[in-house]
Amino acid sequence: MKPKITKAIKIILPLLLGVFLVWYSLSKVSLDEIVEYLKQSDYEWIVFGVFLGLLSHMSRAYRWRFQLEPMGYTIKYPNSFMAVFATYLINYTIPRAGEVARATILSNYENVPFEKGFGTIVAERIADLVVMMGIIVITLFLQFDFIYGFFIERLNPLKIGFVLVFVMLGVYLFFYYLKRSNSKWASKLRSFLSGLIEGVLSIFKMKKKWAFIFHTLFIWAMYVLMFYVTSFAIPDLKGISLAVILVGFISASFSIAATNGGIGSYPLAVYAAFSLFGIAQEPSIAFGWIMWASQTLMIIIFGGLSLIYLPVYNRKNKG
């Protein structure tokens, strides 16, 4: 009973948080004000932003194939494309369930063992994290004095160091026990981790390393550009600097982990970042909603079509 309760809490809590944040953001800026900004927006820039977002997802689907090739699997691009969009859509319902579904789709339609497919997904997340850290470093460089002064007042280095040491010790003890245990579950976990590690290490065995790196950089360049060009749609945001855009982008990116697909949290994260630079509340939240809604609509359309067409496509192309 307890695992069921835990699972339900993991699903329901982010949704409730999302609903609360939607209400909270709309209490800051009324729906009428957002509609007014929508009427004034330049939709050519919004559509262009959606197009750039689509390019990034297409590139992600193509990049995935490079990771699977060293393990002897050549998957069809349509399956990779549809699996990626299905991932995004499913994550709107159950957090992180999309990654499991993506590996499952690959296992069902391309005969790639689940743990190996999931390992490549973990590997690409690591690559994405490296690029994200790079974006943070660039942002820190562009706005070092401002950001350093802001965060040094709010972070306690001693507490952070203590938490890191505690976490590292816990991880070490867990793997020490796992290595020496003869229990059935430990054996299964070691087997799973072995396949997972093979998937992660596939990034170093690729013949097309440079193509993988190019697509990784391209994906994130498109993410930043779609955020940047969409800001042109709001008259009050025209002329803001790239450094401000990067701070807003980083804040918005982290907000996606807080609730399902950033529901409610995305506009507030944009506002929180933009407010640091004295940008007004109304256009900031309105931009956050426009940015989130346009990308979400794309995911709903392509993700929904992918889930419907996946079995049809693979029935037609069986063998």
pLDDT at residue 3 above 60? no
Report yes or no on 5 lying in a domain. no
Tokens of 226: 């779609």
The residue with tokens 């190996």 is 116
With respect to residue 203, please indicate whether it lies within any of the assigned structural domains.
Answer: yes
pLDDT above 90 as % of the chain? 15
Residue 19 resides in a domain:
no
Query: How far is the CA of 285 from the CAs of 1, 174, 276, 288, 294, in angstroms?
Result: 41, 43, 14, 5, 14
Let me know: does 252 contact 269? Beta carbons within 8 Å: yes
The pLDDT, as a whole number, for residue 223 is: 94
Q: What is the mean pLDDT of residues 153-159?
A: 61
Counting the structural domains of the chain, the total is 1
In a domain, 154, yes or no: yes
Say if residue 1's pLDDT is above 50. no
Whether residue 209 is contained in a domain is answered as yes
23 in any annotated domain: no
- Report whether pLDDT(48) > 50: yes
What the block records as the tokens of 25 is 């953001």
User: pLDDT, tens digit, for every residue of 173-191?
Assistant: 877 777 777 777 777 777 7
pLDDT at 190: 77
CB 53 within 8 A of CB 222: yes
Mean pLDDT, to the nearest integer, of 263-291? Answer: 85
**Is it the case that residue 310 has pLDDT exceeding 60?**
yes
CA distances from residue 237 to 43, 211, 217, 281 in whole angstroms, order as listed: 14, 35, 26, 11
3-state secondary structure of 265: helix
Instruction: Identify the residue with better confidence: 289 or 204.
Output: 289
Q: Which candidate, 67, 71, 72, places its Cα nearest to that of 83?
A: 67
Q: Are 303 and 86 in contact (CB under 8 A)?
A: yes
**Long-range residue pairs from 204-208, CB within 8 A, at least 24 positions apart, any chain:** 205/70, 206/66, 206/67, 206/69, 206/70, 207/69, 207/70, 208/66, 208/69
Evaluate if residue 8 carries a pLDDT over 80. Answer: no
What tokens were used for 218? Answer: 């391209």
Q: Which residue's structure tokens are 């401000």?
A: 244
Whether 231 shows a pLDDT value over 70: the answer reads yes
Range of weakest confidence among 9-23, 91-105, 289-303:
9-23
How high is the pLDDT of residue 23? Answer: 56
Q: In this structure, is residue 295 part of a structural domain?
A: yes
Question: Could you give the CA distance from residue 187 to residue 252 in angstroms, rounded to a whole number?
Answer: 40
**In which band, very low, low, confident or very high, does the pLDDT at 51 lie, cut at 50, 70 and 90?**
very high
Instruction: Tell me the average pLDDT across 112-130.
Output: 84
Is residue 111 pLDDT above 70, yes or no?
yes
Interval 138-161 mean pLDDT: 66
Mean pLDDT of 263-279: 84
Residue whose structure tokens are 């990626």: 84
- Asked whether residue 217 carries a pLDDT value surpassing 80, the answer given is yes
1 belongs to a structural domain? no
pLDDT reading at 263 higher than 80: no
Provide mean pLDDT across the span 182-201.
71
- Ramachandran bin of 42, using left for φ above 0, alpha for ψ from -120 to 50, beta for the remaining angles: beta
Q: Is the model's pLDDT at 18 over the cut of 60?
A: no
**Full domain range(s) for residue 111:** 29-316
- What's the chain's Rg over C-alpha atoms? 21
- On whether the CB atoms of residues 52 and 226 are closer than 8 A, the answer is yes
